[in-house]
Amino acid sequence: MEIPKFYFEALGENHMKTIFHHPAVIEKRGVDVKMEDRNTFHKAARVMYRFLRVVYVSCVFYMVPFIVFYL
């Protein structure tokens, strides 16, 4: 568990080190925006995203292990 810390500390005053010490602040995430506040395109895109995510998660994380064990 200490190996990434050793590597990070060995970077010295690198640009990447300053970026990772001060992460970006995200004002609003997609979950935080209500459906009423979205325009029509973003409503359709959000519904499509949720549908595709459900299909992906159900196939990859639940069905693939059963298929691997079956073969």
pLDDT tens-digit readout, 15-68:
665 666 666 777 777 788 898 989 999 999 999 999 999 999 888 888 887 777
DSSP code of 61? I
pLDDT of residue 46: 93
Specify the pTM: 0.52
Reading the block at residue 48, the tokens are 């499509």
Give me the number of domains the chain comprises.
Answer: 1
Q: Is the dihedral of CA 30, 33, 36, 41 positive or negative?
A: negative
Average pLDDT over residues 8-12: 66
**What is the distance between the alpha carbons of residues 41 and 8, in angstroms, rounded to a whole number?**
42
Domain boundaries, position 55: 3-70
pLDDT of residue 3: 72
